[in-house]
Amino acid sequence: MNSQKSVNPGSVSLTTLVLPIFFESLFRMLVSSIDTFMLSSYAQEAVAGVGMVAQYMFFIQLLFNIVCIGAGIVLAQYLGAKRHQEAGLIAQAGAVMSVVLAVLVTVLVLSGSSWLLSLYPLEPKVHQYAWQYFSIFGGLGSVFIAFNMFQATLLRTYGYTRDTMYISIIANLLNVLGNSLALYGWFGLPVTGVAGVAASSVFSQAAAVVMTRYRIKAHRDIVFRAEGWRTIPTSIYRKILEIGLPSAGEALSYNVAQIVIMAMVTTLGTYAMSSQVYAQTLVRFVFVASMAIGNGAQIKTGYYMGMKKPEEAYKRVYLYQFAGTLISISLVLLLNMFKQPLIGIFTKVKEIADITYNMLFVSFYVETGRSFNLITIPALKGAGDVQFPVMVGIISMWGLGAFGAWLLGLHFGLGMVGIWLAVGTDETIRGIIMLFRWKSKRWMSKGIV
């Protein structure tokens, strides 16, 4: 049945936007943790290999986010201004760009994954698992990942965050089922290991593409047609890239820095690599709330800028930030209170557990700073202020994060604790700078419409 609802930016509450995004993200991270647990029962080398490739998969998703972020921000401001015809052109252009970028990524991954992984001092088994996962999920799955991300962005920006939540839950359940078939050989099927896990991820993404397309068609207010894409004005593509490239650039710089840091972690051995995977798996449950609030803040700020109400955005983002930081600190406290049984789910190796305990304690510092970045930066981007976060981000991520990780973790021999202290310093200093940027109100002059 087709929906008659038309989005009214002024009446869409943050709670309406954020709660489905929160539960969607929470469920996705829960499934990711289940994946890690399932892989750990298969082989510790599989955990290390897939965990290392996860950095590159995140990098690929950030490339696709160039289009998603750019189209989403521009679309939100046009919806706020009630210029629906231009909004339809933005959706069309974003779809075309997503497919083209995905095809390029597929070619690069399939042709270069083996060479890329050879740059790391990996154990042979870890290298094998990493190559299998990267080639199948990163290579063959890229088109589905890109189009799923874009269509989900479209639904969220129009206010239909509940749709994306349900679709994500179904797709992730399909992924868990596929993983079980691959690792445990249910119904007499052969155990296909990491290759089967990667194939399961591709299938779940393909299923999500079909479901998101169906929901988009069900909402009549969403203008998203396949015909006429050849005649889209170049100015539309340019507008998306003008916002998308610099705004995604901040995230791209962050992930490249994380890849460099992960390379440092590999020099500390498989125990350190496994600890990094387990600690990151757990702290994702901490920042999921701030991430959801940040997504909602970006959409709401875009609406307000399109409606010519920047002062309303200014006041509300402070409330969003306070809530996000308070939730993050509370969740880190809970994580540390129950760290022993939680880590025990993933590993019984004492050396790995001890390293992970120390990293979780340092996460008080890391996650407080991260909450600033996950909320204030998306709000700045939603307003169209995309250059400043990139400039500050590049300096901080590399000067404090990556260099600090080498200095504290490797040079001074503090290991994983030193690396996480450096990451926390980057997050905190950068987050404080972003809060001052918001307070300055300079972003109010950056509107697109």
Look at 229 and 354; give whichever has higher pLDDT: 354
The whole-angstrom separation of Cα 432 and Cα 430 is 6
Name the range with the highest mean pLDDT among 99-108, 184-193, 228-237, 271-280: 99-108
pLDDT digits (tens, 9 = 90+) for 340-364: 999 988 888 888 999 999 999 999 9
pLDDT digits (tens, 9 = 90+) for 11-29: 778 888 888 988 888 777 6
Is 3's pLDDT higher than 60?
no
| Close Cβ partners of 328 (under 8 Å, ≥ 6 residues apart) | 286, 287, 289, 290, 367, 368, 370, 371
Token duo for residue 203: 């299938």
Residue 3 lies inside a defined structural domain of this protein: no
- DSSP-derived 3-state class of residue 51: helix
Residue 380 lies inside a defined structural domain of this protein: yes
Is 331's pLDDT higher than 50?
yes
Band (pLDDT 50/70/90 cuts) for residue 1 is very low
Cβ burial 180-219 (10 Å sphere, 16+ → b, else e): bbbbeeeeeeeebbbbbbbbbbbbbbbbbbebbeebbeeb
Residue 175 lies inside a defined structural domain of this protein: yes
Is 4's pLDDT higher than 60?
no
Which range marks the domain in which residue 27 is found? 12-439
Residue type at 428? Answer: T
The whole-angstrom separation of Cα 262 and Cα 272 is 10
The whole-angstrom separation of Cα 82 and Cα 76 is 10
pTM of the model: 0.81
Cite the beta strand spans of 138-281 per DSSP E.
none
Share of the chain above pLDDT 90, in %: 48
The whole-angstrom separation of Cα 133 and Cα 136 is 5
Provide the pLDDT for residue 43: 80
pLDDT digits (tens, 9 = 90+) for 50-104: 888 887 887 788 889 889 989 999 999 888 888 888 888 899 999 999 999 999 9
| Close Cβ partners of 202 (under 8 Å, ≥ 6 residues apart) | 136, 137, 140, 141, 144
Residue 428 lies inside a defined structural domain of this protein: yes
Provide the pLDDT for residue 49: 85
Residue 303 lies inside a defined structural domain of this protein: yes
Provide the pLDDT for residue 32: 67
Give the residue from 341, 426, 437 showing the smallest Cα distance to 385.
437
Residue pair 296/255 in contact by the 8 Å Cβ criterion: no
Share of the chain above pLDDT 70, in %: 96
Is 188's pLDDT higher than 80?
no
pLDDT digits (tens, 9 = 90+) for 365-390: 999 999 999 999 999 999 999 889 88
Residue pair 374/435 in contact by the 8 Å Cβ criterion: no
Cα 111 to its chain centre, rounded Å, is 25
Q: How many other β-carbons are positioned within 10 Å of the β-carbon of residue 441?
A: 12
Residue type at 424? Answer: G
The structural domain count of the chain equals: 1
